[in-house]
């Protein structure tokens, strides 16, 4: 990251902390950037009590439910159910496809981040 990127990152962290109502940690002789934001301090950003694993499994279950709903609507339409229209089938299929694509992209980002972390020297 270049110098502008680091400054932008610290500004984003500061705004995130302010949005959550947290104060920036007190710093003694830490350097300040142009906007008066401490450059060496990092506050606690995420105070949610949710576990990442639980959130991930809920998201995967949601994708699974969308896939199952899409399959059920397809099957009902193929069997001639008058309550299921082609539009509903196409919308359900699109929703499940988008959710699956997003899940695959998230997985790819996790794998990329894992590889990057593992290649860091200790």
pLDDT in tens, 78-117: 999 999 999 999 999 999 999 999 999 999 999 999 999 9
In contact, 17 and 43? CB cutoff 8 Å: yes
- Residue bearing the bigger pLDDT, 110 or 34: 110
- Residue bearing the bigger pLDDT, 56 or 93: 93
What pLDDT score does 27 carry?
Answer: 47
In contact, 32 and 38? CB cutoff 8 Å: yes
In contact, 2 and 16? CB cutoff 8 Å: no
Give the span between the Cα atoms of 17 and 42, in whole angstroms.
10
Confidence of residue 64 (pLDDT cuts 50, 70, 90): very high
Q: Domain limits of the chain?
A: 1-47, 52-118
What pLDDT score does 14 carry?
Answer: 74
- Residue bearing the bigger pLDDT, 5 or 20: 20
pTM assigned to the model? 0.55
Confidence of residue 2 (pLDDT cuts 50, 70, 90): very low
């Amino acid at each position: 990251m270049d110098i502008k990127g680091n400054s932008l990152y610290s500004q984003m962290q500061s705004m995130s902390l302010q949005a959550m109502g947290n104060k920036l940690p007190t710093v003694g002789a830490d350097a300040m950037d142009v906007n008066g934001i401490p450059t060496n301090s990092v506050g606690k950003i995420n105070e949610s009590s949710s576990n990442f694993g639980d959130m991930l499994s809920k998201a995967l279950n949601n994708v699974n439910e969308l896939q199952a709903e899409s399959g059920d609507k397809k099957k009902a339409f193929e069997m001639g159910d008058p309550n299921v229209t082609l539009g509903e089938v196409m919308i359900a299929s699109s929703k499940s496809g988008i959710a699956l694509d997003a899940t695959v992209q998230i997985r790819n980002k996790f794998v990329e981040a894992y590889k990057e972390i593992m290649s860091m020297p200790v």
